[in-house]
Structure formats: structure tokens, C-alpha cells
Amino acid sequence: MSELEFDLLGEGYAAGFGRVLTAFLDHPVDVRVSRHHGHLYSTVTSAARKTPFALLELAATSWTDVVLPTLTEHISRFRRLADEDAGPAMRQARGLFSECVALHHAMLSPARKAIVDLLSLSRAVLDEDQRERGEHAILGAVTATATPTVRAAEALLDEDLPEVLDDARAIALVAEGACDGDGYGLTQPGWLDDATYAHRMRGFLRRFGVTRQVLRSRLAAAADHRSEAMAELGRRCPALSRPEVARHLAMARVGAVLAETHGPIMHVRYVHELQRLVLAHGRRAAERGVFDESQQILHLRLAELDDPVVGSRLVAARHADYQVRLRGPLPAPVRRSWIRAARSVPPAAAARLGGLGTQAGRRAGSRTWQGVAAAPGAGCGPLRVLRSQPDLERLQPGDVALVPDDGPAWGWLALAGVALIVEHGGRLGHAPALARECGAACVVGGAGVVGLVAEGEVVKVAGDAGTVTW
């Protein structure tokens, strides 16, 4: 992350997420962000007090009645900020992004908690030898189908879609459900800041034989699988048919749709508006001779935007340092440190937080890795270790992909039918959810596999058992 990205996105994320976690954990917490090699990390610590925040009700109307009107208002405010002084405008923009993060997690946290509670109920009433199948049935029963991401892929495969998208068409694709490219950074390529990105992703899907007809057949299969999972759930766990548990199941299904489909769209749109705002002020600063190009504004801190002393030499030095960091190795995510870092958080709150976070795997033999089953199915092929979107060019049909996290950017692999090993993340994450919808195998908790298996070595992924063998 560049200096301004960290101030806008990092600090905004921390503030919004902290407000939601305070409500979700029923304990005031702060989310503290830091950078390592330019990448963003977060930890959770207790706070003295926090502004009250209400989690969204798990109802199908939450998106249309609450989120969309707020998003519309915020986009209008983003556009007006282009005419104000840079420093005050960016601080207001950071607040808007913080609200976006809060809204997203106000949907996501209750949704994932409903699923976790449902899984806990099943463990209480199922025999040990039935629990694994029961958990698979629950995850299948709450799988969202015909999600916006799949519909966006259908639009992407439209023969009439131009190779280079204008701004309006790119925004329309995001509104249909296109998730981001390489995270949520202002300088990373994605739908809204790379005019050729859509063309490249269409080429990727076509390379794997994905057509609109294939996507429709997968949607039909996903609906059938969800019905089968509901029936299996009734057979294996009749106690879950009680009215109060049935309500829990209904909440989990609605929440899965809200959290796993709409949240990524919100982030993409807000980051796009932030980028437009930053570059608008960057052009003005370049016209005043503060630096040579509008993009160099990204290397100023928020507090420096209106400082007349800041000059081009400082910006140039930071730009050079940023390029060095980008070429460096990607550091290992530290999400597993949530609980360790949250020692001041009460045990009950820490346990609730841990139930939603990263799940770790372990070595289970000389040639077996035991991860966590996230999406049923099987895959076998050469292992490809992917770290960024350009790595997709190395992926070929029949390969197995190992990806760093469970974010929505890697959901495109599930659309292509690629078996996934996720290093850091949980089975309730975006990519595993899309894998269940598309019928692609997925195992999470794969951190450690890359140290045991060489690039190109053939591996087998068992999504039902959560194992990787080679």
C-alpha cells in the first residue's frame, strides 16, 4: 500500500470494522492496522468505549431498504468532494469508505454467525461419525445460488461486450456483481481502474471452456445440490427441523446471499470513487507543480496534502521505495494472530471472533495435508501457486490452484471449475462460497502446503475430506 492508500483505506477499514466488531462481540474493541512490505495487516485490541452501532437485520430487504439508499447518497457525496480542498475532502472520503466497511460487515458478521450457530447445533445433536456429513449438508443448504458474481460472468461472456470498457460499462458490470481484481487497493488493477481487465478475464474463462451455457448449467446444478442438501439435512438431523432451528436456517440462507454477494460489489464501487477523487486532486496538484504526474499524489500522507512545503523530491523518493516494496516477496498473512493479539479481549469475545476467522490445517502423513473441507468435489493436477492476478496466465485447465486467501478475487477460479487450496481463510469466506455454488472443490487451511509440494507436482484435492495429497 502506498502512503495515501494506507491513510484512506487502512484507517477507514480499521474504523468501520472496529465499530461492527464492537457490536458483534458485545465488547468495545479497536482494530489496529499496520503495514509490512507495503501490505495491510490488522489486529484487535480492547478499547475503552465505542460509538454504538447496529448490525443489520438478516432480511432480504436489508440490501434494498438500507444499503442501496446509503450507497447512492455516498456516491453523490464522493462526486461533490472533487470541488473541495484536498485534505478536508480526503478526510470526508475516508469516513465514507469507513461507513462502507461498516455496512458490509454489518451484513457479513451476523450472516456468518448464523451459519456458525447452525453448525454448533448440528454438532450437539449428531453422533460423531455423522457430524462431517451433517456439516457438509448445512453448508450446502445455505449456499447462495444465482449470485450476482455468476450473473456478472455471464455478462462478461456476452459476444457484444467491447474489449475495452468505458467507465459506464465497467460500473454496470460491478452493479451486476463483478468482484474486484487484485484486492481493494487504489493502485491495483481491477474492474474499474483497468480498461482491459474485463477482456483478460473473459479470455481466462474461455480458456477453461466456460460459456454462458456452462454457467447456466452450473446454476441449475447448484439449485439441485441445495435441495439435495436440505433433504439430507432432514434425514441426518431431524432435530434441526424444529421451528426455532428452521428460523436459524432461514436467517443463514438470507445472510449468505447478503454477505457473500453484495459486500464485494460495495467495496469495488467505493474504492473506484476514492480513486477518481484522489486522481482529480492529483491532477490539480500536478498543475501547481507539486509533482509531475497525478498518480504521485498516492505517495503523500493525508496530513501532507495541503502542506505547501511538500515537494517533488519527497514524492519521488517515496515512489522509488514503493516500487521496491512491490517487487519484494508477499509476506505471509497474519490473520491467525487475531486471537494472540487480542489478549485483552475477554475470552468469550475472543472465542466468538475466532469462530469466524482463519482455520488452520496440519501435516497428516508424509504425503498428506489435512485442511478444512470447504466445498465438496475432487481435483487432481499440477499445483500452481498463485499470488496475484497476473499469475492466472500461468494456470491451465487441469491445474490445481493454491491461493493466499479466501477473498472474492479468487472466486474466478471457482467459476472456471478449478480446484482450490486456500492458505489463509475459512470455509465461510467469499471464494469457498462461490466454489460451493459452482461445484468446484475447495480446501482451506492450506498454509504449509507450498513448503511441502513443488510447483508443478501433481496433487489431489478432496473437498469432502479436506485433504491434499501428493
- The domain of 445 spans 362-469
Residues 41 and 74 in one domain: yes
Residues 289 and 318 in one domain: yes
Residues 21 and 121 in one domain: yes
pLDDT over 70 (residue 279): yes
Residues 454 and 391 in one domain: yes
Stated pTM of the model: 0.79
Are 440 and 429 within 8 A, CB to CB? Answer: no
Among 11-20, 49-58, 192-201, 290-299, whose mean pLDDT is lowest?
192-201
What is the C-alpha end-to-end distance of the chain, expressed in Å?
36
Digit-coded pLDDT (tens) for 384-417? 999 877 788 889 999 999 998 887 778 888 889 9
| 299: in domain | yes
Q: Calculate the average pLDDT of the chain.
A: 81
Residues 370 and 439 in one domain: yes
Digit-coded pLDDT (tens) for 145-166? 777 778 778 888 887 777 777 7
Write the CATH number for 374: 3.50.30.10
Question: What pLDDT, on the 0 to 100 scale, is given for residue 262?
Answer: 64
| 150: in domain | no
Closest CA to 281 of 93, 91, 90: 90
Residues 377 and 433 in one domain: yes
Residues 113 and 7 in one domain: yes
Question: What pLDDT, on the 0 to 100 scale, is given for residue 233?
Answer: 76
Residues 281 and 379 in one domain: no
Confidence of residue 37 (pLDDT cuts 50, 70, 90): low
Are 446 and 385 within 8 A, CB to CB? Answer: no
Q: Final residue of a domain: which of 293, 319, 347?
A: 347
Residues 324 and 436 in one domain: no
pLDDT over 90 (residue 140): no
* Cβ-proximal residues to 72 (8 Å cutoff; 6+ apart), any chain: none
pLDDT over 90 (residue 422): yes
| 36: in domain | yes
What number is the average pLDDT over the span 290-315?
79
Confidence of residue 241 (pLDDT cuts 50, 70, 90): low
Question: What pLDDT, on the 0 to 100 scale, is given for residue 462?
Answer: 96
What number is the average pLDDT over the span 81-98?
93
Convert 60-85 to b/e letters by CB count within 10 Å (16 or more is b).
Answer: eebbeebbeeebeebeeebeebbeee
Q: Is 61 helix (H, G, I), strand (E, B) or coil?
A: helix
Number of domain units in the chain: 2
Are 146 and 177 within 8 A, CB to CB? Answer: no
| 419: in domain | yes
| 188: in domain | no
CB atoms within 10 A of CB 461: 30
Higher pLDDT, 140 or 330: 140
Confidence of residue 191 (pLDDT cuts 50, 70, 90): very low
Higher pLDDT, 145 or 431: 431
Among 183-197, 388-402, 416-430, whose mean pLDDT is lowest?
183-197
Higher pLDDT, 40 or 402: 402
Question: What pLDDT, on the 0 to 100 scale, is given for residue 419?
Answer: 96
Residues 341 and 418 in one domain: no
Question: What pLDDT, on the 0 to 100 scale, is given for residue 73?
Answer: 94
Residues 110 and 256 in one domain: yes
Q: Final residue of a domain: which of 347, 370, 387?
A: 347
| 239: in domain | no
| 219: in domain | no
pLDDT over 90 (residue 98): yes
CA 119 to chain centre: 22
pLDDT over 60 (residue 340): no
Residues 80 and 107 in one domain: yes
Q: Considering only the C-alpha atoms of the chain, give the largest distance between any 2 of them, rounded to a whole number of Å.
A: 72
| 431: in domain | yes
Task: Give the C-alpha separation, 256 to 382, whole Å.
Answer: 32
Strand 372-375: give its sheet, edge to edge.
Answer: 362-363, 368-370, 467-469, 458-462, 378-385, 400-405, 419-424, 442-444, 372-375
Percent of the chain scoring above 70 in pLDDT: 84
Task: Give the C-alpha separation, 175 to 152, whole Å.
Answer: 8
Q: Final residue of a domain: which of 321, 347, 373?
A: 347
Question: What pLDDT, on the 0 to 100 scale, is given for residue 453?
Answer: 93
